[in-house]
Every structure is written in C-alpha cells, then in structure tokens.
C-alpha cells in the first residue's frame, strides 16, 4: 500500500543518465558491425615506486609535468555528528508546526462568527440574482461544497505533490530537485530536504498510490483532530520519519536518497488504526477480503520491522516504521501532552493581538 522510495530514485538516475547510456550503446553496436576487429590492448605491468619516481625525475628534467594521480571517489562516512543539525531542525520544526496550528485554530474560531453573517448575506444575494445554467464556476463550487472537511484539507497537499511531480519533468531543474527534494544523510543539504522530500514523487504510480491512501483516510483523521491539528501532525510526521531514516542509514552505512510521502502517510494510517482498531479495511483490488484496522497496523509494523532488520532496500522501511510509531505515540500520549497543553500559547497570542489592537487604537486618536 505504501509506494516505493528506493526504487524510484533508481528510475531517476536511469532517466538522468539515459543520454550517456544510449551514446555508449550506439558506439558499441557500430564497432561490432564493422568488418575489422580492434586489437585488444595489452595490459602493461604496474610500475614500482622506484620506477615511477625515476620516470617523474626524467620528465622533470625535460620540463614535462608528470601525470596527476586519478581522483579517489568520495565515500560517505558514518558520522553521527552530522545528525545533530537535523535533530535540532526536527524538534524546532515540530514545535513550530503545532504552535502555528494552535494559532491557526484560534484565528479560525475567531473569524467563524463573522463568516456566519457573510454566508447569510451571500445566500441572500444568490437567491436574488438570476441563476446561470452551465456556469463552470458554479459547478466547481458545487463540487467543492460536496467534499468533506478532510478531503478539502488534503486537496492542497495533493496539489503541492502534483506541482513537485511536474517540476521533476523539467530538465533544467534536475540538479535542484535532486539536492533539495530527496533526503540523504550524506548530502550537503540535510534539513530542508527532510520536509521537501515529503512532497516529492518521481514516479506517477508512486504519487498516485500515496495520494489515494491519504485521500481515503482524510475524512477520518480530520474528523478526529480537526484540520489544524492534522496539518501539524502531517508535516511533523514527514520530518520525523525522514530523521529516523537518516539515523538508520548512518548506523548501517547504507547511504542513498529517498523521496515520497510514505512516512507521513504511515503516521496518518497508524493514527486512524490506533484510534479505531475495529474499523473494517479492504484492499482496493481485493474488496471482498476485509480485515480490522488493528490487524492491518500490526502487519505493516511487522513487515517494516523485518525489512529493517534484514536490510531490505526495496522500501525505506526505517521511514515507514518511524512514521507508524509516531502516529501510534501521538494518539496514545502525544495528544494529551502536546495539543491539550496549547492554552498558554493561545492566551499569549490573544494578549498580543489585543494589546496590538489597543495600541493601534490609541495611536489613531
């Protein structure tokens, strides 16, 4: 159900290097079709240190510079010190996400009363003016109003993923996309890719599978949390799952880029399954077979744990497992520890807004 991560990057690499590969293949075919066969080059025996020094000295006397040594390939080092900055970014971004969500909810509640009167006025004007048949804007508005709050919320996430998917198709953006929209602990860019890679998909199937799962669980998760808390959970889950992937890759010494929303979606899936373990789920292609959400979560966690222990590289199992564990933790403990303790921040924001409005009123007199 979760889409591929590691295999997707292989597709990226093959697509970027396709021109070079085709050129080599074409050259090989023309050499095989020619009537003459090239003489195989004889391998010269390796020179010793003394012979090489003597040759360099002769070249130096003749005024010719010796050939430079071939560059050694860069091998990533298993340094946990590089993870300090991503850890600070993860903690800071998670705190800002939930803090911003608390303020967002305060502003939404405050403007809801004014919005109620605006809706009444808009309904009255709608009845007074003549109706237009076949109006595209009206059809879009009707479709939008038919969506649930969860579907409306994830529509923006899906649109962002689609935009990033289109950016992968622009050749001039390939280097930027690889640097900032794939996460790799051996890369120079460590922090922002933890968030941006959550919205990044190179394969259409990869994006479609992830967005379908997100759309399917959107109504349930938003009804449980509200759109503000859900957005904070989703964004934080993307960063946290990527950090878990960083730790796993560094510990095992298996570096490589990852991308996709699988870690964040695993958090959503785990949160819903933990909150409603008796809910019935089914696979899209096998709707006749149903199972409980609790059993589905156990199977997914067991699969990712096995893949992580055995070193499977078909999926980013560490990111999946990190996202699932974060979703379980948040439903059991995190909601009480984080969201229900937001009142001091909201009160501080309320006092700031009130004091700012009062200062503005005194200044205008």
Q: Per the structure block, which two tokens stand in for 6?
A: 């590691």
Distance CA 174, CA 19 (A): 14
Alpha helices in 253-292, H assignment, sequence order: 262-275
What does the pLDDT read at residue 254? 83
pLDDT mean across residues, the chain: 78
Which of 1-10, 51-60, 143-152 bottoms out in mean pLDDT, i.e. has the lowest? 1-10
pLDDT greater than 50 at residue 101: yes
Closest CA to 180 of 259, 266, 254, 87: 259
What does the pLDDT read at residue 26? 33
Closest CA to 230 of 173, 156, 162: 156
Greater confidence, 264 or 142?
264
Catalytic residue numbers?
Answer: 262, 320
Contact 249, 328 (CB under 8 A): no
Which of 34-43, 174-183, 277-286 bottoms out in mean pLDDT, i.e. has the lowest? 34-43
> How much helix, strand and coil, in percent to the nearest 5, is found in the chain?
70, 5, 25
Confidence of residue 59 (pLDDT cuts 50, 70, 90): low
Domain 80-113+147-353 has CATH 1.20.1540.10: yes
Give Cα separations from 86 to 176, 266, 275 (angstroms).
Answer: 20, 21, 30
**Containing H/E element for 292?**
strand 286-292
What does the pLDDT read at residue 22? 32
Beta strands in 201-284 (DSSP E): 280-283
End-to-end CA distance of the chain: 62
Which of 118-122, 162-166, 270-274, 341-345 bottoms out in mean pLDDT, i.e. has the lowest? 118-122
What does the pLDDT read at residue 48? 54
């Amino acid at each position: 159900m979760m889409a591929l991560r590691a295999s997707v990057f292989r597709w990226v690499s093959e697509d970027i290097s396709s021109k070079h590969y085709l050129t080599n293949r074409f050259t090989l075919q023309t050499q095989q079709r020619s009537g003459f066969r090239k003489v195989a080059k004889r391998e010269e025996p390796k020179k010793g240190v003394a012979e090489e020094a003597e040759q360099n000295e002769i070249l130096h006397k003749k005024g010719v510079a010796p050939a430079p040594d071939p560059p050694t390939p860069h091998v990533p080092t298993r340094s946990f010190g590089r993870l300090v900055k991503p850890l600070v970014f993860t903690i800071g971004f998670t705190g800002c996400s939930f803090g911003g969500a608390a303020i967002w909810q305060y502003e939404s509640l405050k403007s809801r009363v004014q919005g109620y009167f605006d809706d009444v006025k808009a309904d009255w004007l709608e009845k007074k003016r003549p109706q237009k048949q076949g109006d595209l804007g009206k059809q879009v508005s009707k479709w939008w109003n038919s969506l649930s709050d969860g579907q409306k919320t994830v529509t923006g996430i899906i649109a962002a993923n689609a935009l990033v998917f289109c950016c992968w198709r622009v050749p001039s953006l390939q280097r930027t996309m690889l640097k900032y929209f794939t996460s790799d602990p051996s890369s120079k860019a460590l922090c922002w890719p933890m968030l941006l890679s959550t919205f990044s998909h190179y394969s259409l199937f990869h994006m479609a599978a992830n967005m379908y799962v997100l759309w399917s669980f959107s109504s349930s998760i938003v009804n449980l949390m509200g759109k503000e808390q859900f957005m904070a959970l989703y964004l934080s889950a993307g960063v946290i799952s990527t950090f878990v992937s960083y730790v796993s890759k560094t510990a095992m010494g298996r570096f490589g880029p990852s991308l996709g929303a699988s870690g964040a979606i695993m958090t959503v899936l785990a949160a819903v399954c933990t909150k409603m373990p008796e809910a019935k789920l089914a696979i899209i292609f096998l709707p006749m077979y149903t199972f409980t959400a609790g059993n589905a979560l156990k199977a997914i966690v067991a699969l990712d744990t096995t893949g992580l222990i055995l070193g499977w590289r078909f999926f980013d199992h560490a990111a999946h497992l990190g996202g699932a564990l974060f979703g379980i933790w948040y439903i059991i403990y995190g909601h009480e520890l984080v969201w229900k303790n937001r009142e001091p921040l909201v009160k501080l924001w309320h006092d700031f807004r009130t004091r700012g409005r009062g200062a503005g009123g005194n200044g205008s007199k």
